[in-house]
Amino acid sequence: MRLIEIIGNDGVVPRLKAQTRDEALMELVNRLIENGRVNEEDREDLLMALLKRESLGATSIGHNVAIPHVKTPLANEFVGVLGRSRDGIDFAEGEDKVHLIILFFSPERAVSGHLRLLAHIGGILNHDGYVRLLLEAEGRNELVDLVRDAERMIFGEDPGPSGPPPDDQGDPVLA
């Protein structure tokens, strides 16, 4: 499972307008709705799930990055979005501002897939130099290319579509 497959080209927001964590979460969920990746009627429930997750511990991971993530019955497949803030967002009290956010939802029953995706994203964003490139990228296309290139460098050539990731019982999670 590749991050670029989960966010897609339209799942990149190169200039977040948000000033706060909650505004950023809302803006990113709205992008998922606009792209038809989640249902509009689930907006409030998805936002509440994200805020509940943040109340357990901020999903900022250092390097000016946050990875808000939730397993939910409202997601039939892995869906995500990448947002970048030039000015930075106060994501957690006492921590550096976040400039790069990768938000994703996983199907509720895909526990191991959820953890693998989180580790995959962490592997990509564990390099200061790479995060700097993402922050300096000119726009959406360059951001998409950087994510694709990082996945190739770190995890090898993209084998192409491999189908949906399996759930914890080994069955594919279908949309």
Number of domains, the chain: 1
Query: Residue 168 domain-assigned?
Result: no
Query: Residue 170 domain-assigned?
Result: no
pLDDT tens-digit series, residues 133-143? 999 999 999 99
Closest CA to 57 of 24, 92, 102: 92
Query: Residue 41 domain-assigned?
Result: yes
CB 38 within 8 A of CB 70: no
d(CA 164, CA 175): 9
> What angle is formed at CA 144 by the lines to CA 161 and CA 14, rounded to 5 degrees?
140
Span of 39-43, 47-51, 90-94, 154-158 with lowest mean pLDDT: 154-158
Q: Which residues have CB under 8 Å from 61's CB, separation 6+?
A: 67, 122, 125
> Residue 16 sits in a domain of what CATH number?
3.40.930.10
Taking the CB of residue 75, how many other CB atoms lie within 10 A of it?
Answer: 26
Spell out the SS3 assignment of 102-158.
EEEEEECCCHHHHHHHHHHHHHHCCCHHHHHHHHHCCCHHHHHHHHHHHHHHHHCCC
Bridge pairing between strands 98-107 and 65-66: parallel
Query: Residue 13 domain-assigned?
Result: yes
Query: Residue 173 domain-assigned?
Result: no
pLDDT tens-digit series, residues 21-68? 999 999 999 999 999 999 999 999 999 999 999 999 989 988 899 999
Query: Residue 145 domain-assigned?
Result: yes
Closest CA to 141 of 33, 9, 35: 9
Give the domain range for residue 106: 3-155
Query: Residue 64 domain-assigned?
Result: yes
Query: Residue 71 domain-assigned?
Result: yes
